[in-house]
Structure 1
Amino acid sequence: MTTVSQRAALTPRQLTRASERLSFIYLERCTVHRDANAITAQDAEGTTHIPSATIGTLLLGPGTRITHQAMSVLGQTGAAVCWVGERGVRYYASGRALSRSSTLMEAQARQWANPRNRLTVARDMYRLRFPDEDPSTLTRQQLLGCEGRRVKDSYRAEAARTGVTWRGRRYTPGNFADGDAVNQAITAAAQCMYGIAHAIVTSLGCSPALGFVHSGHELSFVLDIADLYKTEIGIPLAFDIAAEGEEDIGARTRRALRDRVNTSSLLNRCVDDIKSLLLPGTPDSSVVIDIARDVVTLQSDGGRVVASGVNYDGPDSYQDVSW
C-alpha cells in the first residue's frame, strides 16, 4: 500500500458536503482499515467497504480496532470519529473540518463575544425549537424556565401518546442501565444527537466550545445545536422505542434515530440552522461558496484583508514563494 504522503490532499470541493452524508455508522467487534479512499470493516463474516467521504460520524463500539491509515483517510475527508460504549454513547474525537474557511468560526466568535448578540442568538435558538412562542423580550432566566416547561410538556405528551409510564427524567452518568426503558432510550438518542451535532459543527469549522445557551464546557455549542431537535425528534423517538419493548433499547434507539435523521433530512437542516444563527440574513448559497474556498488572507488596517504570500515591505511588494 502506498503511504499517505504520496497521496494528494483532498480539496474542499472534492469532499462530500456535510448535509449530504450519512448521519452515523456504528461498528463493533471488527478491525477498521483502509482501502484506497474507503475504509474497510473486517470481522468473522468478511470485509465490508465503506466510502469514507460519505460518513458523517463513525461510531466505534466495543471490540473495534482501527489502523493509522484508516484514521488518516477519515481525517482527510472530515469524518468525525467516536469511541463509544456498548450501551451508552460518548463522543471523544473528531476529524478534520470540511471547511477551509474561517467564515463561520469568525461569525460565531463575533456573535459570542457581544453579550447582546449572544442573547439574540439564544432567543433565535428558542424560536427554532418552539416557533409558536415569541422570545424576543425574554431574559436568559426566562428562556431557561420556558425551555424547561416545554420539555416537561413534551415528556408528558409523548407518554400519553404512546402509553409509556413516565416517572420523570432519571439518568446517572456512567450508568446507562440505571434508568427504566424510556430513560435509557432518551439517553441513547440524546448522546447520538450530540455526536451528530458535533460532526456538523466541526465539519463547518465552528468552535464546539463557544455556546450561546450552554457555557463552560468544550462541547457547549454542540449541546446547543443538538437541543434544537430534542422535542421534535429525540424525545418522541425514545418513547416510540420504549413502547415497543425493553429489550436491546440502546441499539434499537440508535438504528431508529439513524432512520429518522435520514428521512427528516436533519443534517441539511442542521447545516442551514447553524448558518442562519451565526450569519443572519445571509443567503445560504453565498455561505456555501465562501466556506468552500481554500484561501488564506492577511489582516490589515481598517478591517481590510489582503492577499497572503506577498512581502509588503516597501512599494515594490513581491510574491513570496519561499514558503
Structure 2
Amino acid sequence: MKDRVSMVFVQYGQIDVQDGAFVVVDQTGVRTHIPVGSVACIMLEPGTRVSHAAVHLASVVGTLLVWVGEAGVRLYASGQPGGARADRLLYQAKLALDDDLRLLVVRKMYELRFGEAAPARRSVEQLRGIEGARVRETYKLLARQHRVDWQARNYDRQQWDAADVPNRCLSAATSCLYGITEAAVLAAGYAPAVGFIHTGKPLSFVYDVADLFKFETVVPLAFHIAAKNPPQPERAVRLACRDLFRSSKLLARIIPTIEEVLASGGIDPPEAPPESVPPAIPNPESIGDAGHRAQ
C-alpha cells in the first residue's frame, strides 16, 4: 500500500478492461490506461460507467473503487467492503466492545493527534468534548493565519453550492483523505465501520484514523486554497491533495499508525480456537496486503 499512488479521479468515461489493461474510454473512443495495481483507490465521479471485468480486476489487485459525488464531496458506495482477515476483525471488535480497552485506544488517538497525553480520569465522551473544542479553535487559528473569513464548520449536502468557499474546500479535502484512509484500513484487514471515537456509521473507523492526520495535512491545505478563492475550489483542492499525499508519503504512515493505535489496548490478536476447522482448500499465496482477498 505504501508504494502506491494515492488516488485517481475518473469522470465522464467508460471504465473497462481491454487487452488485459484497465482503461477509461471517452465518448470519442480514446483509451487512457490506468495502472490499477499501483493506485490505492479510484474515485468514480458522476458520468462514469464501470464494467464487471474492471471491478473484478480492481478487486484482484486490491484497489478500492469509490463512487463519489462531483469533485468527491459525497461518498455513495465503495467497491471492496469488509476485510479479508477475520483475526484482525475480531481483534478490532474486541477492543471496541470492551469499555476499558476502548478508552485506552481513544487516549492513544488523542496523544497522537495533539502531541500530548490525554487528561487523566476522563471518559471517552469527555475526551470527545475536549477534542471538539480544540478542533474549533484550530479552525479559527488557521483561518486567521491564512486571512480567510471563517464563520463555522457548516454546510448542507443538499445545497452544496450554497456553502462558502472555506467549507467547500474543507469538505473536498477531507473527502480525499477519507478515500485513501479507507483503502489503507481495508488493506490492513480491518473494518471501516468499527470505530472508537466515531460510531454508528459505515466509515466510523476511517474517520477515527483520518482525524490523526487531518490537521497536519488536508485542513491547512484547504485554508491555503480557500485564501486564493479559485474559480473551481474543489478541483484545486483535489489536485493539491494528490501532490501533498505524494510528497508527505502519507500512505506509508497510515497502516503503521493503525497498528500502533490498536496495540495501545495491550492485547494480542486472538488465536483460532483449537477445535476450529481449517479451510479445505488452503488460501493461495498472495502478494497483496493483509486485508486483500485472495482470488
Q: After TM superposition, is the score higher than 0.5?
A: yes
Q: Does 1:40 align with 2:23?
A: yes
Q: Does 1:69 align with 2:53?
A: yes
Counterpart amino acid of 2:274? Answer: S
Per-residue deviation, 1:181:
0.5
Q: TM-score, normalised by structure 1?
A: 0.78
Give the aligned partner of residue 299 of structure 1: 273
What is the correspondence of 1:1-323 to structure 2 with a 5 Å cutoff?
18-35=1-18, 38-43=21-26, 44=28, 46-87=30-71, 88-95=73-80, 100-280=84-264, 299-300=273-274, 307-309=278-280
Per-residue deviation, 1:83:
1.6
Per-residue deviation, 1:245:
1.6
Deviations 1:82-123 (A, max 9, x none): 1222232315113277x7543422221221121100111111
Structure 1 distance, partners of 2:121, 2:240, is 38
Larger of the two Rg values belongs to structure? 1
Q: Percent identity?
A: 33
Question: Which SS does the other structure have where 1:82 is aligned?
Answer: strand
Counterpart amino acid of 1:30? Answer: G
Distance 1:252 1:89, change over 3 A: farther
Structure 2 distance, partners of 1:298, 1:182, is 49
Structure with bigger RCO (C-alpha 8 Å, 6+ apart): 2
Structure 2 distance, partners of 1:309, 1:46, is 46
Residue ranges of structure 1 left out of the alignment (5+ in a row): 1-17, 288-296, 311-323
Structure 2 distance, partners of 1:123, 1:116, is 11
Question: Which SS does the other structure have where 2:42 is aligned?
Answer: strand
Residue ranges of structure 2 left out of the alignment (5+ in a row): 282-295
- Native 8 Å contact 1:75 1:96 kept in 2: no
Deviations 1:212-245 (A, max 9, x none): 0011122211111122122211210110111112
Give the aligned partner of residue 290 of structure 1: none
Which 10-residue stretch deviates more, 36-45 or 156-165? 36-45
Q: TM-score, normalised by structure 2?
A: 0.85
- Native 8 Å contact 1:76 1:96 kept in 2: no
- Native 8 Å contact 1:79 1:199 kept in 2: yes
Question: Which SS does the other structure have where 1:19 is aligned?
Answer: coil
Deviations 1:114-162 (A, max 9, x none): 1100111111111111013434532223211221122112111111111
Distance 1:91 1:270, change over 3 A: farther
Counterpart amino acid of 1:20? Answer: D
Structure 1 distance, partners of 2:145, 2:254, is 27
Per-residue deviation, 1:306:
7.3
